[in-house]
Amino acid sequence: MTLIKSISGIRGTIGGHVGETLNPLDIVKFTSAYATFIRRNGGCGQNADFNQNRPTIVVGRDARISGVMVDNVVCGTLMGMGYDVVNIGLATTPTTELTVRILGADGGIIITASHNPRQWNALKLLNKEGEFLTAADGAEVLQLAESGDFEYAEVDNLGRYINCDEADDWHIEDVLGLELVDEDAIRKAHFKVCVDAINSVGGIILPKLLERLGVECKVLNSEPTGDFAHNPEPLEKNLSGIMEEMRTGEYDLGIVVDPDVDRLAFICEDGKMFGEEYTLVSVSDYVLSKTPGNTVSNLSSTRALRDVTEKHGGVYSAAAVGEVNVTTKMKEVGAVIGGEGNGGVIYPESHYGRDALVGIALFLSSLANKGCKVSELRAEFPDYFIAKNRIDLTPSTDVDAILVKVKEMFAKDETATVNDIDGVKIDFPDKWVHLRKSNTEPIIRVYSEAATIEEADSLGKRLMQVVYDMQ
């Protein structure tokens, strides 16, 4: 059983002992710390719709089996802290983010463990802009959780509980209102798509979006039961069902999301993977063709985004892994689009958050305007291959010491450039490898990219052996 506390929130497996898992007592403590942080940093309930002089928090959740339990604990705790709670129920992460901004709320909590298996859940914390907390803010929440310095409301000052069932519609309207979403072209293309909604909230909102766009769709794993039909991470090894369905030749495109619908992967009309790294690349190519500018992705993302950006006359920048790091860098360089290579598209014209709905609408717009097959669109981009490996950690592993040694090993290599803003990334002229400690699991992620998957995997395994030799 696992409990991981980080600046991005609290995440763990359900059941077990206090302090070791994600359980009601730890959820209360962490939610109370977040509420205290919001109050200390200006939460004052200024929204016109909530004029009781109480701060307001939006709460949304994916369809995980533990979601109802966690949701009840979170909402009850916030009310006990004197907060009004706007509960939007089953909702995607980007839907929750947008709702915070639309309602002018003081913050938001998303109950989701993203791509983690069914026994996991987590709290993702948002500021009043509907964006993830900064590292400094997250550290303050952690400190408050450890101190237990909370003050709960007296009976006359308890918060209100407000159900809201309009959030999905608001989200869809926001997507359709984007200038680069070409509804007419998409409708005229008469697309037929297959969607794998992994038994979560994608099965609720994606058919609504696609219907509005005039797209015919079949949804696999559509019931939001939280009992995932397969490993929920949208990687090729987990997607045999939809890939087989695509090979029937009945569809123009396959669409895959994770349980909270902030990651997005495509499948070509012939049943082959488009490549999750190329979700951001392809959408960026379309956006940059209409609105030239700069782009950002994280250090573990493909070089193909850099190539596409430079083709359109823009400047590419890399950020540390983590959505808040990417959005911070995007604001710094004025990026018109950015995201993460795991299928996360961040389009500031909508909001600063990974959003599969935005990615789908922009991708379909590009495909409709080009009038080509998905496989033909993929062939337009440079080929790189990323190998994704992992090193499982033991309680005695000194990750920081290991990464320092790796950095020192390559510091004198004239063919390599070493970047240590997030773990250690070693860039060679024709390939790279990145080692970093995961924020969500007790592992070191080892990502490597080269011209072939064999070369990429060999480079990653080489660095893994270096780490093993150090332990």
Phi/psi for 79 (5° steps) reads -65, -40
Angle at 264 between CA 88 and CA 282, to 5 degrees: 135
Whether residue 440 is predicted with pLDDT greater than 70 in this model: the reply is: no
Yes or no: say if 75 and 148 are a contact pair by the CB < 8 Å rule.
no
Work out the pLDDT band at 48, boundaries 50, 70, 90: very low
What's the pLDDT tens digit per position in 261-305?
Answer: 999 999 999 999 999 999 999 999 999 999 999 999 999 999 999
Closest CA to 179 of 54, 331, 58, 348: 348
**Which of 213-222, 381-390, 394-403, 440-449 shows the highest mean pLDDT?**
213-222
The pTM of the full predicted model, rounded to 2 decimals, is 0.93
Counting Cα atoms < 13 Å in the Cβ hemisphere of 135 gives 9
In the predicted structure, residue 8 carries a pLDDT above the cut 80: no
Higher pLDDT, 347 or 417: 347
Closest CA to 455 of 432, 429, 426, 423: 432
Residue 44 has pLDDT above 70, yes or no: no
The residue among 238, 236, 304 whose CA lies nearest residue 268 is 236
Active site residues: 114
Burial letters for 15-52: b for 16+ Cβ neighbours within 10 Å, e otherwise?
eeeeeebbbeebbbbbbbbbbbbbbeeebebebeebee
Answer whether residue 316 shows pLDDT above 80: yes
Over range 429-447, report the average pLDDT: 86
Residues 462-471: tens digit of each pLDDT = 988 888 877 6
Does residue 80 register a pLDDT over 50? yes
- pLDDT per residue as tens digits for the range 135-160: 899 999 999 999 999 999 999 999 99
CB 329 within 8 A of CB 296: yes
Q: What is the spatial distance between Cα 381 and Cα 280, in angstroms, rounded to a whole number?
A: 12
For 292, the 3-state DSSP assignment is coil
Q: Map 321-390 to HEC letters.
A: CCHHHHHHHHHHHCEEEEEECCCEEECCCCCCCECHHHHHHHHHHHHHHHCCCHHHHHCCCCCCEEEEEE
Instruction: State the pLDDT confidence band at 51, using cuts at 50, 70 and 90.
Output: very low
Looking at residue 395, its pLDDT comes to 78
CA distance 235 to 386: 12
Q: What is the mean pLDDT of residues 237-251?
A: 97
Region 35-55: what's the mean pLDDT?
A: 72
